[in-house]
Amino acid sequence: MIGGQGYQGGTIVNRTKLQKKKEREERLRKQRHFESVRNLYPQFCFVNEHICDPDYVSIVKNAVKDINFQTFKFHDSHDSVYHEFLKNIVKYGFKLAFFMAAGVTEFAHKISRMDVRSGTKYLMSEDPEVVEFNKRASNFASQHENLLIAIGDNILFSKGKEGLFKYWPNQGFRICFVDDRICFVFQRIHKTQHNNNTCYHYMVPNKIKWNNKEYEMYFTHHAMQRIIQRFSNRGKSSYCSFILLYEFFNNMRHKIAFHAGGRQFVQFYFPVFSKLLPTVKKIVESEKDLCSIHGHIVEDTEKRDVYVKCFSSPLDVDKNIITIITALLPGYHPTPESHTFTSPGIKNMKEKDRFRHLYFSEVDITSDDYVDAFQFFHNNGVSQVFVEKSSKETNPFRIRNFFDHEKMIYDKLN
């Protein structure tokens, strides 16, 4: 009896060991399978970790580690295109994978065989082949944006997302492709105290010239809240709104331009974003001599950077500091656009009332309402588009400088 119990106990023990062994082997098999499939997709790398809090960096890295591209759904009709594009990045590098996805590989090889001067001149021409190339490349550029947004949202809204939002907007990250990798570039907006008020500046304070004197530019807490609100889709945070905020600080242009209500105002301009691209393209093509915000008349033969008006704010001046106190969308009182509501020259009162009331509600710069209002103000005498001669060699493919940004990050990694 005792022996029988011992034998029965031994059988149970052996079965338990065997079950655990099978479970371990299955885990290892799944892990090997995951790693083999994962190697088909780009690996991750991180830049500028030192500028953010270690806890924030750790949260981002843990969320990134959990990304499983094998089961990743981009919620888009181009899902299979994105997966093929990602796999081609590993095989051929980002730039060639981009051309392959856009269907312009043969044309790109043709340009690569030209010398730089001839290639740039040809790409700026209106040759039908160039026009078709730009059309296809620009089309995939917008799809490429959606892919990055999907990856970013996957991280922001993963487990422990509250840990990431706790650091917003002071700390964030940008996703880009570098060679054969997906790179996370950490970014930071710094807080400081000025006259007992909390103010913000991005990395290094922006400089602004006024009356032949240079000032450092800071933003109040209220201004930051309003800017975030305007870049968020109806108040909803997303990776897209995160990036728009940091892009604003990276690429904005500003001009102290008009006086209203006894105060001087700063107007801010932002590079054209995809929602406004068709409208702005028509405006630029129809108005050949649009002045830049620096007063330079741009000729057709010159490289141009195009900006759109996004905010206005009264300013406070204290010694060598200019403080931006709010962010008023075009149309709010007392922006120059608000005067169009009282202009007797506008015949369509119904349309005028629609846009006047629009600005008493919450609206963001990526909404259809904003696009309509943008066109309305520009058509009624308050220019919303500004161009300036490019200060650097811009991307000849006109694809929002994706490759320029890639080179900058690549240089940092190497």
Burial level of 218, CB count in 10 A (0-12/13-18/19+)?
Answer: buried
**pTM listed for this prediction:** 0.74
φ, ψ of residue 184 in degrees (nearest 5): -110, 115
pLDDT in tens, the chain (414 residues): 444 555 555 666 677 777 777 777 677 776 666 666 778 899 999 988 988 999 999 989 988 888 888 777 776 677 888 889 999 999 998 888 888 888 888 888 888 788 877 877 787 777 888 888 878 887 787 778 778 888 888 888 776 556 777 887 888 888 888 888 898 989 888 888 887 788 888 876 678 888 888 888 899 988 988 888 777 764 456 787 777 788 788 778 888 877 776 778 888 888 776 677 777 777 777 776 666 666 655 555 566 678 888 888 988 888 888 899 998 888 888 888 887 777 766 666 777 777 777 766 666 676 777 788 888 888 888 888 887 776 654 443 334 444 555 555 545 554
Task: At 166, list the tokens.
Answer: 């706790």
Residue 296 DSSP SS3: coil
For the chain, the first-to-last Cα distance in angstroms comes to: 73
Per-residue pLDDT, 293: 63
| Residue 355 neighbours by CB under 8 Å, 6+ apart | 331, 341, 372, 373, 376, 377
Residue located via tokens 């594009």: 85
- Distance CA(253)–CA(308), nearest Å, equals 9
Using the CB atoms, write b or e for 140-175: b if 16+ within 10 Å.
Answer: bbebbbbbbbbbbbbbbebeeeebbeebbbbbbbbb
Which one, of 271, 241, 232, 245, lies nearest residue 189 by Cα?
245
Q: What is the DSSP letter of 389?
A: E
Structural domain boundaries in the chain: 1-38, 43-156, 189-413
Q: How many angstroms separate the Cα of 82 from the Cα of each of 67, 89, 144?
A: 15, 11, 8
